[in-house]
Amino acid sequence: GENVEQHPSTLSVQEGDSAVIKCTYSDSASNYFPWYKQELGKRPQLIIDIRSNVGEKKDQRIAVTLNKTAKHFSLHITETQPEDSAVYFCAAKGAGSYQLTFGKGTKLSVIP
Amino acid sequence: EAGVAQSPRYKIIEKRQSVAFWCNPISGHATLYWYQQILGQGPKLLIQFQNNGVVDDSQLPKDRFSAERLKGVDSTLKIQPAKLEDSAVYLCASSLDSFGGGVSTDTQYFGPGTRLTVL
């Protein structure tokens, strides 16, 4: 089955700096890669996703890049703000499957 | 639109007791998922329904966990008997999953979860 590795497990940045979280996946047939943000005690919320026919997607301060050859994808947050502090999860979905496999999460702390 | 609803939000039980969780997906969503999220980890899929049929239950500990989705809408997840290692947040999610028109409909929306503590 699919295996998703996520790094780093914790990340601290100064407010205004950029943050990058990286994930690798094992199934070359995976075709959908969402990113979820989970604040303490709350539900995971989808913040951005990308499909295998696209190399990059951007939404305001958030961007995701996908390298299918290397089987990795990354989340980029620019101009970080304290409210960006949360745990971020990447996930991958195989072709022909609805199942998402999640990474273990990255705890992002934005220091004011 | 209303989100995924779950109840209860918190549950504390002793080991060997039984417990049940309820989920109401977003209206019209064909696919429903139950995940287990242990502290410090990502959600792990337990079972996936499409309408009222099971699509994948390969990671469900069937000796103690059971789930049903009667009439293809609400779902319940039961644990009987509970073990200490079942302490976790149980998340329900749903997705529309109808294909057509070039619109991607497989985005999963999560409920608030039920935090289970087994003593």
> Which residue, among B93, B89, B96, has the nearest Cα to B116 in the 3D structure?
B89
Taking only the tens place, the pLDDT of each residue in A56-86 is 999 999 999 999 999 999 999 999 999 999 9
Taking only the tens place, the pLDDT of each residue in A14-27 is 999 999 999 999 99
Chain B interface test: which of A98, A102, A104, A106 (most B C-beta within 10 Å): A98
Least confident of A36-50, B86-100, B104-118: B86-100
Phi, psi for A48 (deg, rounded to 5): -170, 155
Are A98 and B43 inside 8 Å of each other by CB? no
Are A43 and B110 inside 8 Å of each other by CB? yes
Q: Which two tokens stand for residue B63?
A: 């000796």
Q: Which residues of A touch B108 (CB under 8 A)?
A: 34, 46, 100
Alpha-carbon torsion, ordered A100, A102, A108, B2, to 10 deg: 30
End-to-end Cα distance, chain A: 41
B27 touches chain A (CB under 8 A): no
CA distance B31 to A46: 17
- CA dist list (Å): A83 to A37, A80, A87: 11, 8, 12
Per-residue pLDDT at B99 exceeds 60:
no
A75 touches chain B (CB under 8 A): no
Closest chain B C-alpha to A9 CA, distance in angstroms:
10
CA distance A31 to B19: 36
End-to-end Cα distance, chain B: 37
- In this prediction, residue B101 carries a pLDDT of 43
Interface of A with B in 33-52 (CB under 8 A): 34, 36, 42-46, 49, 51
Q: Which residues of A touch B45 (CB under 8 A)?
A: 99-101
Confidence band of A96 (pLDDT split at 50, 70, 90): low
Looking at residues A42-52, what average pLDDT do you find? 92
Tell me which chain B residue has its CA closest to the CA of residue A101: B44
- CA dist list (Å): A81 to A21, A25, B44: 16, 29, 29
